[in-house]
Amino acid sequence: MSRSHKVLGFLLVAILGIYGCARGPADPGGAKSTAAEVKAQRLEEDFRAAAAARDSFRQRLLAAEEKQGQLQRQLEQANATSAQERQEKEKVRGELKLRTTERDTLQTQYESFRKNIRDLLGHAESALNVSSSTPTLIGTQTHPIPAPRFQN
The pLDDT value recorded for residue 20 is 80
DSSP H helices, the chain, are 3-23, 31-133
Overall average pLDDT of the 84-99 stretch: 96
Average pLDDT score over the chain: 86
Q: Does 142 score more than 60 pLDDT?
A: no
Overall average pLDDT of the 105-112 stretch: 96
Give the Cα separation of 74 and 63 in Å (integer): 16
Give the Cα separation of 43 and 50 in Å (integer): 10
The pLDDT value recorded for residue 145 is 60
Task: Please list, in sequence order, all residues whose beta carbon lies within 8 angstroms of the beta carbon of residue 30, skipping any fewer than 6 positions away.
Answer: 23
Instruction: Show contacts of 51-57: CB within 8 Å, 24+ apart.
Output: none
The pLDDT value recorded for residue 54 is 96
Q: Indicate the pLDDT class of residue 86, thresholds 50, 70 and 90.
A: very high
Q: What sign has the CA pseudo-torsion 137, 139, 144, 146?
A: negative
Does 27 or 39 have the greater pLDDT score? 39
Q: What percent of the chain has pLDDT over 70?
A: 80
Overall average pLDDT of the 27-40 stretch: 73
Give the Cα separation of 124 and 127 in Å (integer): 5
Nearest to 5 by CA among 17, 21, 13: 13
Q: What's the whole-model pTM score?
A: 0.42
